[in-house]
Amino acid sequence: MLAPMSRVLVLGATSAIAAQVAQRYAERGDTLFLVGRSPEKLAGLRALLGAKVVGHIECDLDDLGGNAARIAEAFACLGTVDVAVIAHGLLGDQRASEQHWSEAERILCTNLLSPISLLVPLANRLEQVGRGSIAVLSSVAGDRGRPRNFTYGAAKAGLNVYLQGLRSRLWASGVAVHTFKLGPVDTPMTVGHRKSRLFSRADDVAREIVDGIDAGVAEAYVPGWWRPILGIVRAMPERLFQRVGPLAGR
C-alpha cells in the first residue's frame, strides 16, 4: 500500500476514467497535479477535488514538443511524483485512417507518440529519485488487429511493448511501470458505440486501476475476465479468426 499523502500526477485528467482515478486519490488524502485539455472539465474537476489539487496545466498533450516542460512543471510543483497516471487516448475513425494519412497520424500520435513523449522525461526523473510508479492506460485492442480498430490497436500494441521494455529497464532502480489493458468502457469516448455487456463503468475501472497500482501489478486486464478471452483470441489461427464475424467484422 502506498504511503499516505502520495503526490499524484494525472495526465489526461479530463477523461472520464482519469477523473475517477483522481477522485479516488483525493478521497484518501493524496495531493494531485492535473494536466488536461478541456478547460471546462478541468475547472470542474478542480472544483470537485478542492485543495487536494495543488497545480494544473491546460494543454493538448499531442503537442509533443512541450511535454517535457509540462513534466518538469509538475515535479517543481509537487517536489517529486509518487504516482504518475497517463490516461489520455483517442479511438479516432478507423475507416478514415485507411484512406487518409492525417487521420492515421492523429490516432498514432495520441495513443503512441504522446505517451512516449511523456514517459521519456518521467522515467528519467523517477530513475534519478529511485522510486515511484508510472501507470499507463492501454487497451485490449492492442492484443490482436481487428478490422474495426486496427490503427488504434497498432498504437496500443506499440505502447504495450514500449512499456514492457521500460518496466525491465527501471525495475532495478525501484520504479514500477504498470500497464492496464482496458476493455470497452461506457464513457464519452465510446458515446457512438452500441453498448453491450462487455462494457464496464468508469468508476469500476478506476477502482481496479488504483488497486492495481497499490498492489504493484505489472500488467493487468481491466476487468480481469478479459485475460482468458484475449488468450483465446490471440491463439486463434488467422484463417479461423477471419471467419468469426464478431472478431473480424467491421
Residue 192: what pLDDT? 60
Residue among 218, 224, 111 at smallest CA distance from 165 = 218
Residue 185: what pLDDT? 87
| Residue 164: CA count within 13 A, CB half-sphere | 7
Largest CA distance in the chain: 56
Residue among 71, 64, 16 at smallest CA distance from 38 = 16
Residue 190: what pLDDT? 63
Helices and strands: H and E segment counts in the chain: 11, 9
Rg of the chain over CA atoms, in angstroms?
A: 18
Residue 1: what pLDDT? 42
Residue 246: what pLDDT? 83
* Cα–Cα distance, 161 to 114 (Å, whole number): 15
Instruction: Name every residue whose Cβ is closer than 8 Å to that of residue 2 and which is 6 or more positions away in sequence.
Output: 82, 83, 133, 213, 214
Residue 181: what pLDDT? 98
Position 61: which residue type? L
Phi, psi for 36 (deg, rounded to 5): -155, 165
Residue among 89, 177, 81 at smallest CA distance from 135 = 177
Cell numbers at 224, concatenated: 480481469
Q: Which residues of the chain have pLDDT under 70?
A: 1-4, 188-196
Q: Report whether 189 contacts 152 (CB < 8 A).
A: no
Helix (H) or strand (E) holding 58: strand 53-58
Phi, psi for 93 (deg, rounded to 5): -110, 105
Residue 8: what pLDDT? 98
Q: Read off the pLDDT of residues 51-77 as tens digits, 9 standing for 90 and up.
A: 999 999 999 999 999 999 999 999 999
The whole model's pTM is what?
0.92
CATH class of the 7-248 domain in this structure: alpha beta
Residue spans per domain, the chain: 7-248
